[in-house]
Amino acid sequence: NHVIVCGLGRAGTAAIKQLEREGASIVGIDHDEHYVELMKERGYLVILGDATEDEILKAAGIERARSIISALPSDSANILITMAAKDLNPRIRVVARADRPENIARLKRAGADWVTAVGIAGGARLALAAVKPATVDFIHSILERRHPDYKLEEILIDEKSPLAGKLVRDSRLKEDYGSQLLAIIRNGTTIANPDISETILPGDVIIVFGAINKLNLLETSPGAACPLKSE
Amino acid sequence: NHVIVCGLGRAGTAAIKQLEREGASIVGIDHDEHYVELMKERGYLVILGDATEDEILKAAGIERARSIISALPSDSANILITMAAKDLNPRIRVVARADRPENIARLKRAGADWVTAVGIAGGARLALAAVKPATVDFIHSILERRHPDYKLEEILIDEKSPLAGKLVRDSRLKEDYGSQLLAIIRNGTTIANPDISETILPGDVIIVFGAINKLNLLETSPGAACPLKSE
Ligand SMILES: [Ca+2]
Ligand SMILES: [Ca+2]
């Protein structure tokens, strides 16, 4: 149930730092001895090799991994890794970096669940920082876990959940869990800012914002993979 | 009260697209005739010239601009633009792109209010997409205004605001404005997920998530610059 990170350059190492904050187990892959040594010295589990080869992906435990991040500087390599990863483990979540924007759709066609194009995503963030500074600072501090007490969390509601079958109005999310309900994701559809007359159902994924210590009480099956469609 | 975008490459044009969704007026600058022609054909106001020259920044109306985005591929150019922008308009908000991570702190020292390092920010996003897919999809769809009905908004509370002086408990944000209060920013300090016993004061900036049509009722001085410190 670990996350594989292919490519230990700037994007890959930034991804690893963030994965650590999220408490994920990580296996890195890079073909550059220098990067591999650096990460080993810092205590990471890393494999020296070409991530586009099935043997290397297998050595990284691709068959048991929950996700793979393909962050090589070459789009052709990221496309091949995406296809190989889905062949070796059809349930794996593939997150890929696109260097050139025209390859976003190709990476998705190859099977990637989520693709981010480096320059484009950065540009949108620059714009938001220009016009909505407080919101961008706040959301990023929360998303990047720079705030010690609060977090955004997605929680799969199962039958054991104290929220299953409850109306939003009666959920006591604010009172008992110090949290706010931002959205319900049901069968791939997002109900943003749900009305208090909405019912929370088993199988729903809820997105909540609130106190870390209280939110943990809600995760009745924290290891469960969320049954989601990506954008 | 417009936003100047220096550099019409990938990051700059992505920034412009996002600024349009936010309803901002935009002036672009690039020294490459090809980029300038492309943007002119699409109806944008753009200036052909070197954005590191004071004369060009003045031609772009730097003295009246609310923000400037410095998105050139060269960190040295972005540092000079930052310094020139603050000299020509001390109240302007400078948002800069860093190509190399070691220049983030230098851009801030030069006066930038917000700096994003392309590779690093992309890497953190890849990690979140791997472990919290629903949250990342949801937050980005809201931040990038891909959702037609809901938005995140930051609102400066002035004396005329219907919320000024109200307890969070009595604010009726959910009932009357279809909105949730995520944070209060007061004197540069963020009160995340405020308690219902908190009072909303004039001078506060509140960050809310909710229905676009109702949130607009709350913006009693929508043009007001937010008195914020950046991260
Ligand atoms: Ca979770
Ligand atoms: Ca506003």
**Residues near A120 by Cβ (< 8 Å), separated by ≥ 6?**
A101, B10, B11, B14
Q: Shortest CB distance from A114 goes to which of B123, B129, B190?
A: B129
Residues of A in contact with B142 (CB under 8 A): 192
Contact with chain B for residue A132, Cβ under 8 A: yes
- Is the pLDDT at B124 greater than 90? The verdict is no
Q: How far is A55 from chain B (nearest CA, A)?
A: 22
The sheet carrying A150-156 orders its strands as: A150-156, A205-211, A179-186, A189-192
Residues of A in contact with B69 (CB under 8 A): 126-127, 130
pLDDT in tens, B181-217: 999 999 988 898 898 899 999 999 999 998 888 887 8
pLDDT of residue B118: 74
Give the DSSP letter of residue A167: B
How far apart CA A134 and CA B207 sit, in angstroms, is 8
The rounded Å distance from CA B153 to ligand 2 centre is 5
How far apart CA B187 and CA A138 sit, in angstroms, is 15
Contact with chain B for residue A93, Cβ under 8 A: yes
pLDDT of residue A229: 36
Q: B38-74 b/e with 16+ CB inside 10 Å = b?
A: ebeeeebebbebebbeeebbeebbbeebbbbbbbbee
pLDDT in tens, A90-110: 999 999 999 888 899 999 999
Average pLDDT over chain A, rounded to an integer: 88
B152 to A139: CB separation less than 8 angstroms, yes or no: yes
How would residue B226 be classed by pLDDT, with cut points 50, 70 and 90?
A: very low
Cβ contact B207:B139 at 8 Å? no
B132 to A154: CB separation less than 8 angstroms, yes or no: yes
How would residue A221 be classed by pLDDT, with cut points 50, 70 and 90?
A: low
Name the 3-class secondary structure at A161.
coil
Give the DSSP letter of residue B91: T
The larger pLDDT score, comparing residue B91 to residue B122, is at: B91
pLDDT of residue A215: 83
Contact with chain B for residue A209, Cβ under 8 A: yes
pLDDT of residue B220: 64
pLDDT of residue A228: 40
The rounded Å distance from CA A177 to ligand 2 centre is 29
Name the 3-class secondary structure at B97.
strand
pLDDT of residue A134: 84
- Is the pLDDT at A178 greater than 70? The verdict is yes
Chain B interface disruption, residue of A19, A135, A168, A172, most B CBs within 10 A? A135
The arithmetic mean of pLDDT across residues A26-33, rounded, is: 96
The rounded Å distance from CA B42 to ligand 2 centre is 27
- Is the pLDDT at B110 greater than 70? The verdict is yes
Q: Shortest CB distance from B11 goes to which of A119, A139, A150?
A: A119
* Structure token digits, residue B224: 């007001």
The arithmetic mean of pLDDT across residues B96-123, rounded, is: 87
Is the ipTM of this structure higher than 0.85?
Answer: no
How would residue A143 be classed by pLDDT, with cut points 50, 70 and 90?
A: confident
CA A69, distance to chain mean position in Å, is 9
The arithmetic mean of pLDDT across residues A184-192, rounded, is: 90
A185 to B211: CB separation less than 8 angstroms, yes or no: no
Q: How far is CA B36 from CA A187, B27, B224, in A?
A: 45, 11, 31
The arithmetic mean of pLDDT across residues B27-49, rounded, is: 96
For residue A16, the tally of other CB atoms under 10 A from its CB is 25
For residue A51, the tally of other CB atoms under 10 A from its CB is 27
